[in-house]
Structure 1
Amino acid sequence: MLHKKPLTMAVSAAVGAAFAMGMAPVNAQDEQLVEEVVVTGSRIQRANLVSSSPVTQLDAEQLRFTGLTRVEDALAAIPAISLDQSSGQAIEAVGTATLQLRNLGSQRTLVLMNGRRLPAGSPNSASNAADINLIPGQLIERVEVLTGGASSTYGADAVAGVVNFIMIDDFEGIKLDVQAGQFRADNDGGLVAGAAERAGQPFATGTATDGDQYDMTMIMGGNFDNGRGNATAFLTYRDIEGVTQAARDTSACPVRSSGECLGSGTNQSGSWIIGGTNYRTEGNEFLEGRGPGFNFAAPSFFQRPDRRTTMGTFAHYDINENVEAYTELMFMDTKSDTQFGPSGVFFRTFDDLNCDNPLLSAQQLGVAGCTSPDDRFSATLGRRNVEGGPRKGALRHTTYRGVFGLRGDINDSWRYDVSYQYAEVNMTNRNTNYVDLIRVEEALNAVVNDDGTIGCESGNSECVPYNVYQTGGVTDEATAYFSQVVYENGRTTQEVLMGYVQGSLGDYGIASPFAESGIEIVAGAEYREESLTYGLSDNAARGDAGGFGVPVPVDGRYDVNEIYFEASVPVIEDAPLVQALVLDLGFRYSDYSTGNTTDTYKIAASWDINDDIKVRGSYQRAVRAPNIVDLFEPDSAGLFAMDRDPCNKANPGDNLSLSGYTFEQCARSGVSRAIWDQGGPEDSPAAQYNSTGGGSTELEPEEADTYTLGAIWQPSFIEGLQLSVDYYEIEITGAIQGIQEETTLLQCIETGDAAFCDQVNRGQLDTLWLGQASPTNGINAASTNIGFLLVEGVDVEINYNFDIGDMGTVNIANIAGFVLAYDQEEYPGAGVVGCEGTYGGACQIPTPDLKNRFQATWATPWNVNANIIWRHVAGSTQEFTDVPNDIDDFNYFDISATWAVTDTATLRFGINNVLDEDPPFVYQGVTARENGNTYPGIYDPLGQYWFLGGTIQF
């Protein structure tokens, strides 16, 4: 493979240099260097506070006090982080856990383990994000979160920043850890419960205790060969029970801006469109008008059941004084179940129904226009298969990851690190309780057999008539006949070969004339190959599975050759007002097999004025080339949220739509005169409309300019206090993203621009929701390179350790994130929209203008550590809607404690969301990632959570 040759030669040269340049012993200065922290964002070893880029850190103890078994949930309290895929997703779930920085999308957040990238978590994900499920929580030593571009150090995905998990790799002894937890919530009524009561829908009352969580970890490790090596092995198991939305009064039914329960037009009674008129099945008649909407929310999960097993080992061994071999071997198997409203026939048109069907009453035959038993008629049917139960998916991801490397000192001045890593994620999904539309069509045509029984017109003896013509007429046998299973499978692979050397040029006298310390440099090369395959069973590919999108099988790959360079240049040292001024430089050149080449670079500086005050700043050009998902994401059908079709009219006599549009404007989007005169396209009862989208091999890299400026204050007169303030700005041009479907529709109506109108495809009765989404029924939202994003904010961190006499010590850690601006422009000329402190419309999920995490820990003299965490999320204003629904400020309080019972045994207990705060109410389907009338990735959706755990270590 030609692309490998440059890198292979570079890595070989680095390895050869390790041995050719001698086996000099490690001196004391080098030993001190190895002990220093390699800060996320650079491969040059240094002390943490000298970093020229802002890095937020949580250590193992801080994470343990949260009691959360899902690592992503514990990190969500960090102001810079919000969750993308989380356990609170139902119909949008792909079975992974992903996070994003600055609300810029998980595809722009690079997740690392020990400074090395993790693989794409799933082949059916909408991003290339790593699955946080792979991270064994008890093995985490600390988590470092870097703001701003780090593409020059790590590659394309680090536009918004980096989340780096530093793992324990030198454990000695045996550690057993077990924890159990459970949710508790008071269902005491409210807006949603009131709406459910008025609609005759069931809703939860009283106190709920559910969502049990169990987590077990075993770690074994030890040194060997007189301390020259260490091997740390681990095994974890997690079991989490599911919670449905029916178990909470806040999610009893989907509620939209009307304040009433809404439901799907694909309902339980059966909705028909015959001759352009809506009918419903009632008794054995077709009556005009739709039946009551179906409550699709109640059976959906608010917390998905989850079973996860991880195992692996971290090991390193000093072959000699100059060569250390190391490895990371990891395996994960995770199973996550999805569940949501039953499948059905989603307004499919059947053009050849028989009029001699004995299941049709005389009244129904009249509505169908049947005048003779030999006649045929056409009808569109929407009916929920409630008899078959909810749709279910058994999502399984199996991940293998291996890292093998050599590192060490070439001589007193040079060190090296060469490694190879391979990762593979295999995905399977068994989707059950779907409807075979081919068999449904066969089963709708019933006849009287020669023996007087009722069978199918096809003559198939296995076919059971589908009696949707009578209330309660559907039999279990009919449901079993057309029930089907849909299978998905896929794989992502990642292969990385990299090597770099770090040199201390000061040993050769290369240094600034104003500094004693010399220049440190890193030079390296990297080859990375990524692949993605995705397939599905034939029934889904044909579009014959009712209620299942129609993704296209994919098989794609790309590779990239990269070279990079870093330098840390001490410019001035020990001068008046300049204790140290260090300049950091970085550059990376990337050559992609897709034909793209990119240059990324950084210029950063840190200025130590004295022991108390440090100033830092950076400018970075971060370039994100299209990742494997951007390029090869399956073209698939889905749904998007919209309060109403802007071309719907209040009544047929109006000349304008409810939104004020004329017929001439709505005709641009495909509305016919006949439908307009009847009242315009009908609104979706569930406020969900059809959408299609996918990746593209024509995408170009997106570019981002990142600026940071900050200061660190460690006053010598207040021992233990540390304060940092950092400003950041991230501006992305040519962003890879799709235009929001509602934006496309409105621009088509208002301007008639073919670029928008060509993406709007109205289906039956000129609606955008009747029938399953397809390229000819819905709005295309495929990814393009036209977006603009700008995020600006300030992070403030305070850490303070102090003694309280004989009562022990207290540690206070506070992280506050202020969002000053979140601007976006969906396409050139659209106009910039400010999304800070808002949500909805083009802004999508909330971007609170303030998030704060306060943690205080009291280490008592009685072997007990007490802890309190305060989580604050500022309110958000809903924009782009006629009936706004604003979100108030939210405050959560978590308490916990650990007790060292003996030298080897520790107990811990805690309660999160002590006050049992209900999640904020938002309209159902208002944007993506909404579930259960709220945002589970931002707020606590299930109420109070308690946990009890214990650790034995010896």
Structure 2
Amino acid sequence: MSTLNKCNPLAKAVRSALFAGAATALTFAPNVFAAEDGEDTEEQKVTITGSRIKRADIETSSPVQVTSSEEIKLSGYTRIEDLMNSLPQVEAAETSFLSNGAAGVATLDLRGMGAERTLVLINGRRLQPGGVYSQNPDVNQIPAALVERVEVMTGGGSSTYGADAVAGVVNFVMKDNFEGLEITAGASGYQHDNDNDYIQGLLDDKGFEYPTGSSGIDGKTYNLDITVGGSFDGGKGHATAYATYRRVNELRQGARDYSSCALSGSGRACGGSFNAVVPNFDIYPIDPISGDTVYGYAQYSPDDPNYNDAEDADNTIYGVNGRPGYLDDDENFVEYPWANPESGANKWYTLTPDSGFTGVGNNLYNYAPVNHFMRPDDRYTLGAYVNYEINEQFRPYLEISYMHDYTKAQIAESGTFFAEEYTISCDPDTSPLNADQLAATCGNYGLNANSGSTDNIAVYIGKRNIEGGPRVGILDHSSYRIVFGTEGDINDRWAYDASLQYGTTSSSNAYINDFFGPRITQAISANGLTCDGNCVPYNVFTYNGVTPEAAAQLTGTAILNGVTSQTVFNAFVTGELDATLPSAETPIAAVFGVEHRIEEFERIADEVFAKGQLLGQGGETPSIMGEYDVSELFTELSVPLVQGVEGVESLTLDLGYRYSDYSSSGSESTYKVALDYMPVDGWKVRASFNRAVRAPNVAELFQPQGLGLWQGADPCAGAIDPDTGLVGSGYTAEQCARTGLSTSSYGAISASPASQYNGLQGGNPDLKPEIADTMTFGVVGSPFEDFNFSIDYFNIELEDVIGALGGQLIIEKCAETGLALFCDKINRSGSGSLWLGQTGFVERTNINLASRHWTGVDLSANFQMELGDGILKANMIGTYMTKKEYIPLPELPEESYDCAGTVSTDCFAQPDWRHSLKVSYSTDSFWTVSAKWRYYGKVDYTGTADELVGEGISSQSYFDIKGSFDVADGVGVLVGINNVFDKEPPLVGGTLSNNANAIAGFYDVLGRYIHASVTFNF
């Protein structure tokens, strides 16, 4: 066994690194063992994420967590995002467990600061953005089998790498020096025992179906990875090439009992959609006097020109006591029933089996089972890494990769979704309503329902397209990336690296089987149109009257095509200055470089998407076209201050600066200051300050503004509580009036059953860059042999945050404060609704918000010991979040809220404490076993989530076991089970769930994950 040369500075560094973190040390140990005693040695230096300075000490002044290729393989995950989301520092972003609104990509979110604030690198260079819906890097482009290690640096890194490194940097270091041929074939799947008594009881209450007993193995994944590499031209060159294929089978929500219905907002009942199999109707009278739809009860002022005294028999416009009506045959004034708030006139209806109307009752559709719980996915990647040494001064290299990913996002059937108001005649000769229906509506409202009538009613329809099948978004991505560069030695002290990289992603979404709005009006004979000729009547007013043929004519397809590209030229020199401080032995090291980057994005929407003509889309999806570029100068200095004196083994000052000139927002400067102090061999204290920026991306700047949906609640919706006289949220009629709700509509508007409301959203070309300051302070040490730890405190303050105010926050603060800042953003429809139709919405366009403040502590610890004939190892990483504070607006600093340890409509489910503890045992024989404990601390409900069942999400523990076996020369087998005890995900109400009643992609959601693979090495 080799021994470290204790006189070598590198050896000291490695010993310190071994104390600092086993994952890091084990990754690099093969590269840093010294030669045998008596042989000449040369200090080897490596580049670690967070700096371009090559250094012997692999524990930098910035905390870096390293995940090795062995850990990646043992995890059993074939999706990089699943592996990364298991780290305590990462929150779930875009994953395969999202369906409604899925972007089809996979993204990473360090610290929960947003995927757009996490910089993703491959071999220290940027990964380009990902698709038609996302401006964030898509890690689908990274094959797990080719990753040598993952380095996660939490804290700002903008001075080294440029914008976007606000929360930190994730650097995927690939296997570019592979020798031989390796083939790995694997399979995995999920198994769950459906025995959740609570939700099965809720399902029984509604008469909904659900599975019971064992699910068998479903949601299966198959993968094949091939890697080949070797030297050529007498060892001057080396090439590594790879090809991977992965297929993921779909899994629908109906495969699990706990996702077989969509829970209500409170989680106390199975909810559903008013867009039902048998349609529901929201019907209002149209005032024959003014021609306006009457959503509440109508009143006219005596000063109104539409008001006249009933005694004026020569005038056809009448009103008494401020309420409209008409004169009967005896010229007596008759008040319209809908003009009196106490008339009891109904506005919600559904069909009876004899095609009459009745009150809507509990006519809901269970839309959950058909939705994807996990999307199907087909992905293959190809790539190569080539380097060649012409001489020491000129060593060209090439990186090339290609990825194609094809996935489908299936959600429940489309429908009319109460999206449009249809004008229906009260004349039985032309109306699609039968006589009984006309009497129950037109007649009930006091309107003329006889032949020749010119009166009308306004109808919103809630009909689910069961006859036509589910909606599907077909998401297709093709990514290309090429890096060409050269590196070399300028002299004994200096080296250079210059590269040009180009990455582009072509993506599309073909959305099929959604209702095409313009066709429905004629099909139901509304707005004066008649369904004749080739039109197949859409008989929504007849019980079970809709045929598959009628449904088929009403669906449409919308197409989005997008291309995003990134071009980066980077060149720098790195080396040592001819300068050393008198108190140190090592010269000052430096980096000087330039970079120019161009970001381009184009998304072309067809007319159907652009005009929002598919009723299930929630609004318009506009085209986006834009670009920006940035030119940068950067430098780093590593200044050894003191070395080799008692009490100061080494003290080093690290400095960094970058000047950036953006074509979109002007110039910005970023910088870092860090201290690295080693008092004695094996102990280190480190501290750093980083100024980071994030420039707005193309979509944030240039996306046209249009209607979309936001998840949450309208606190002024719902019936009046008879005990309090207030709506369910507790707001008064006066408070709700500030939000634009009329007194007559207070307690009369319904909440969205799907907890989705209309929002006007889009870009803003006047956005400024975000500014972040990150401070870290940590201790690394080994108090005794075979044990080491690191503990690091972080403090991140983010200003001028780019984003949109939450729709619910806007409504609540308008009601509570009456400030125009909030109230001017609320536009209620005539009925007062923010979800029926598209005339009611909350403005939520991009702005620079106030600030965010994150603090916490990262901990890692490693231990190993000899046990029997083998070695027992244990390592733990954990994060304690002490503050996750949002300050929505400078005008209301008192409205700040802390999301650490809480979950709500404004807060992701971030536990205060989260950790991963792994124990493994390996011998000199053919087998190794390991076990891991993944722990998520308790999360409390806050805000409107207080209405949910229980006090919050209890702590969650998941246990994984793995075994690897060398069954023959060159043949290895790995088997494992994640979530051994089949822990179900914590269930939350409809306002908090991102899919399937759960916070999918963060907690384990499908039960046991069983995986196996076999690897052949030649």
Q: TM-score, normalised by structure 1?
A: 0.92
Partner of 2:731: 661
Partner of 2:260: 252
Is the counterpart of residue 425 in structure 1 residue 505 in structure 2? yes
Is the counterpart of residue 327 in structure 1 residue 398 in structure 2? yes
Amino acid in the other structure paired with 1:343: S
Amino acid in the other structure paired with 2:707: A
Is the counterpart of residue 819 in structure 1 residue 872 in structure 2? no
| Separation in structure 1 between the aligned mates of residue 43 and residue 533 of structure 2, nearest angstrom | 76
CA deviation after TM superposition for structure 1 residue 652, in Å: 8.9
| Separation in structure 1 between the aligned mates of residue 929 and residue 728 of structure 2, nearest angstrom | 58
1:76-155 correspondence to structure 2 within 5 Å: 76-125=85-134, 128-155=135-162
Among candidates 774, 786, 807, match of residue 849 of structure 2: 786
Q: Is the 8 A contact 1:267 1:291 kept in 2?
A: no
Q: Is the 8 A contact 1:647 1:666 kept in 2?
A: no
Name the count of aligned residue pairs: 902
Amino acid in the other structure paired with 1:733: E
CA deviation after TM superposition for structure 1 residue 892, in Å: 0.5
| Separation in structure 2 between the aligned mates of residue 504 and residue 231 of structure 1, nearest angstrom | 31
CA deviation after TM superposition for structure 1 residue 137, in Å: 0.6
CA deviation after TM superposition for structure 1 residue 194, in Å: 1.7
CA deviation after TM superposition for structure 1 residue 542, in Å: 2.1
CA deviation after TM superposition for structure 1 residue 702, in Å: 1.2
CA deviation after TM superposition for structure 1 residue 869, in Å: 1.1
| Separation in structure 2 between the aligned mates of residue 434 and residue 182 of structure 1, nearest angstrom | 31
Gaps of 5+ in 1: 1-27, 448-455
Q: Is the 8 A contact 1:280 1:291 kept in 2?
A: no
| Separation in structure 2 between the aligned mates of residue 53 and residue 460 of structure 1, nearest angstrom | 72
1:384-403 correspondence to structure 2 within 5 Å: 384-403=464-483
| Separation in structure 1 between the aligned mates of residue 173 and residue 42 of structure 2, nearest angstrom | 18
Amino acid in the other structure paired with 2:831: L
CA deviation after TM superposition for structure 1 residue 197, in Å: 1.3
CA 32–167 in structure 1, closer or farther in 2 if over 3 Å, else same:
farther
Amino acid in the other structure paired with 1:693: Q
| Separation in structure 1 between the aligned mates of residue 631 and residue 120 of structure 2, nearest angstrom | 20
Partner of 1:681: 749
Partner of 2:971: 905
CA 171–316 in structure 1, closer or farther in 2 if over 3 Å, else same:
same
Partner of 1:379: 459
Q: Secondary structure at the match of 1:865?
A: strand
Amino acid in the other structure paired with 2:62: S
Partner of 1:847: 910
Partner of 2:1008: 944
Is the counterpart of residue 917 in structure 1 residue 960 in structure 2? no
Partner of 1:582: 652
Partner of 2:488: 408
Is the counterpart of residue 169 in structure 1 residue 176 in structure 2? yes
Identity of aligned residues (%): 38
Is the counterpart of residue 564 in structure 1 residue 614 in structure 2? no
Partner of 1:866: 929
Among candidates 902, 905, 913, match of residue 838 of structure 1: 902
Comparing 863-872 and 42-51, the one that deviates more: 42-51
CA deviation after TM superposition for structure 1 residue 365, in Å: 2.2
Among candidates 437, 455, 467, match of residue 539 of structure 2: 467
| Separation in structure 2 between the aligned mates of residue 750 and residue 34 of structure 1, nearest angstrom | 66
| Separation in structure 1 between the aligned mates of residue 429 and residue 74 of structure 2, nearest angstrom | 70
Q: Secondary structure at the match of 1:841?
A: coil
| Separation in structure 2 between the aligned mates of residue 70 and residue 770 of structure 1, nearest angstrom | 39
CA deviation after TM superposition for structure 1 residue 443, in Å: 0.6
Partner of 2:808: 742
Comparing 297-306 and 779-788, the one that deviates more: 779-788
| Separation in structure 2 between the aligned mates of residue 304 and residue 410 of structure 1, nearest angstrom | 51
Deviations 1:130-159 (A, max 9, x none): 111111111111001101100101111001
| Separation in structure 2 between the aligned mates of residue 463 and residue 542 of structure 1, nearest angstrom | 23
Among candidates 531, 535, 540, match of residue 604 of structure 2: 535
1:494-893 correspondence to structure 2 within 5 Å: 494-505=566-577, 508=578, 510-548=579-617, 549-633=619-703, 635-643=705-713, 645-650=715-720, 656-676=726-746, 679-715=747-783, 717-718=784-785, 720-772=786-838, 776-805=839-868, 807-828=869-890, 829-831=892-894, 832-843=896-907, 845-881=908-944, 882-884=946-948, 885=950, 886-893=952-959
Comparing 328-337 and 363-372, the one that deviates more: 363-372
Larger radius of gyration: 2
CA deviation after TM superposition for structure 1 residue 662, in Å: 2.8
Among candidates 47, 50, 60, match of residue 69 of structure 2: 60
Deviations 1:782-815 (A, max 9, x none): 221113111111111112233224x222222210
Amino acid in the other structure paired with 1:392: V
CA 416–258 in structure 1, closer or farther in 2 if over 3 Å, else same:
closer
Among candidates 228, 231, 256, match of residue 220 of structure 1: 228
| Separation in structure 2 between the aligned mates of residue 292 and residue 818 of structure 1, nearest angstrom | 46
1:153-192 correspondence to structure 2 within 5 Å: 153-192=160-199
Among candidates 470, 490, 493, match of residue 562 of structure 2: 490
Amino acid in the other structure paired with 1:301: H
Q: Secondary structure at the match of 1:615?
A: strand
Amino acid in the other structure paired with 1:859: S
| Separation in structure 2 between the aligned mates of residue 281 and residue 255 of structure 1, nearest angstrom | 25
Deviations 1:601-633 (A, max 9, x none): 000011111112111110111121212232234
Q: Secondary structure at the match of 2:947?
A: coil
| Separation in structure 2 between the aligned mates of residue 524 and residue 577 of structure 1, nearest angstrom | 36
Q: Is the 8 A contact 2:132 2:508 kept in 1?
A: no
Q: Is the 8 A contact 1:322 1:408 kept in 2?
A: yes
Q: Is the 8 A contact 2:159 2:670 kept in 1?
A: yes
Deviations 1:646-689 (A, max 9, x none): 3544269975333333323212211123323xx33222223322
| Separation in structure 1 between the aligned mates of residue 713 and residue 593 of structure 2, nearest angstrom | 53
Q: Secondary structure at the match of 1:146?
A: strand
Amino acid in the other structure paired with 2:580: A
Q: Secondary structure at the match of 1:95?
A: coil
Q: Is the 8 A contact 1:740 1:781 kept in 2?
A: yes
CA deviation after TM superposition for structure 1 residue 267, in Å: 2.0
CA deviation after TM superposition for structure 1 residue 66, in Å: 0.8
CA deviation after TM superposition for structure 1 residue 163, in Å: 0.7
CA deviation after TM superposition for structure 1 residue 830, in Å: 3.9
| Separation in structure 1 between the aligned mates of residue 82 and residue 632 of structure 2, nearest angstrom | 34
Amino acid in the other structure paired with 1:695: G
Q: Is the 8 A contact 2:389 2:395 kept in 1?
A: yes
CA 655–83 in structure 1, closer or farther in 2 if over 3 Å, else same:
closer
Q: Is the 8 A contact 1:863 1:900 kept in 2?
A: yes
CA deviation after TM superposition for structure 1 residue 37, in Å: 2.7
CA 571–60 in structure 1, closer or farther in 2 if over 3 Å, else same:
same
Q: Is the 8 A contact 1:190 1:249 kept in 2?
A: no
Deviations 1:681-716 (A, max 9, x none): 22222332222322221110111111111111134x
Q: TM-score, normalised by structure 2?
A: 0.86
CA 792–459 in structure 1, closer or farther in 2 if over 3 Å, else same:
closer
Partner of 1:18: none
Amino acid in the other structure paired with 1:781: R
Q: Is the 8 A contact 2:184 2:224 kept in 1?
A: yes
Q: Secondary structure at the match of 1:246?
A: helix
CA deviation after TM superposition for structure 1 residue 644, in Å: 5.1
